[in-house]
Amino acid sequence: MMYPSIIPAPSKVALLGGMLIGKLDVVKETVPDMGKEAYEITIKDKITVKASTDAGFYYADITLEQLFQQYGDCIPCMIIEDEPRYAYRAFMIDCCRHFFKVADIKKMIDLCASFKFNKFHWHLSEDQGWRIEIEKYPQLTEIGSVRHGSYFGKEISDEDYGGYYTKADMKEIVDYAARHFIEVIPEIDIPGHSSGILAAMPELTCSGNKVEVKTTAGIFWDLLCAGNENSYKVIFDIIDELCDIFPGEYFHIGGDEVPKLQWTSCKKCQAKMKELGYDNEEQLQGYFVNRVSDYLRSRGKTVISWNESLKGGNLSSENVIQLWMDKDNLCKKSPNRIIISDFYHYYMDYPYEMTPLKKVYNYDDKVNGKVIGVETPIWCEYVSDIDRMIYMCFPRFIAVAQNGWSKRKPAYETFEKDLINIMKMYDTTEWAQRDVWNRPLLIRNVKTAFRFIGTLNREFADKLLDDRKKRKKLNEYYKNKK
Ligand code: ACM
Ligand code: ZN
| DSSP annotation string for 140-151 | HHHTTTEEEEEE
Indicate which residue's Cα is closest to atom 1 of ligand 1. 256
**For residue 407, what is the DSSP state?**
S
Q: Which residue's alpha carbon is at the smallest distance from atom 3 of ligand 1?
A: 256
Q: Which of 121, 125, 306 to mutate to test the pocket of ligand 1 (most atoms within 8 A of CB)?
A: 306
CB atoms within 10 A of CB 160: 11
> What confidence score (pLDDT) does residue 368 get?
72
Burial of residue 378 (CB within 10 Å: 0-12, 13-18, 19+) is buried
If one counts every other C-beta atom within 10 angstroms of the C-beta of residue 26, the result is 15
pLDDT reported for residue 342: 97
Q: How many helices (H) and strands (E) does the chain have?
A: 18, 17
pTM score of the predicted model: 0.97
| Collapsed DSSP state (helix, strand, coil) of residue 435 | helix
Measured distance CA(319)–CA(431) in Å, rounded: 36
Residue 192 CA to ligand 1 centre (angstroms): 11
**Per-residue pLDDT tens for 233-277?**
999 999 999 999 999 999 999 999 999 999 999 999 999 999 999
Confidence band of 338 (pLDDT split at 50, 70, 90): very high
Q: Does 365 have pLDDT greater than 80? A: no
Q: Which of 23-27, 58-62, 163-167, 401-405 has the lowest mean pLDDT?
A: 23-27
Ligand 1 centroid, distance to 201 Cα (angstroms): 24
> Terminus-to-terminus CA distance in the chain, angstroms?
70
Ligand 2: distance of its center to the CA of 481 in Å?
18
pLDDT in tens, 307-336: 999 999 999 999 999 999 999 999 999 999
Average pLDDT along the chain:
96
φ/ψ of 191, rounded to 5, equals -90, -10
Q: Decide if pLDDT at 366 tops 80.
A: no
CA–CA distance, 210 with 392 (Å, rounded to integer): 36
Q: For residue 96, what are the CA distances in angstroms to 124, 195, 404?
A: 6, 11, 26
- Residue to probe by mutation, ligand 1, list 304, 379, 380, 382, most atoms within 8 Å of CB: 379
Average pLDDT over residues 59-75: 96
Q: How far is the C-alpha of 352 from the C-alpha of 348, rounded, in Å?
A: 8
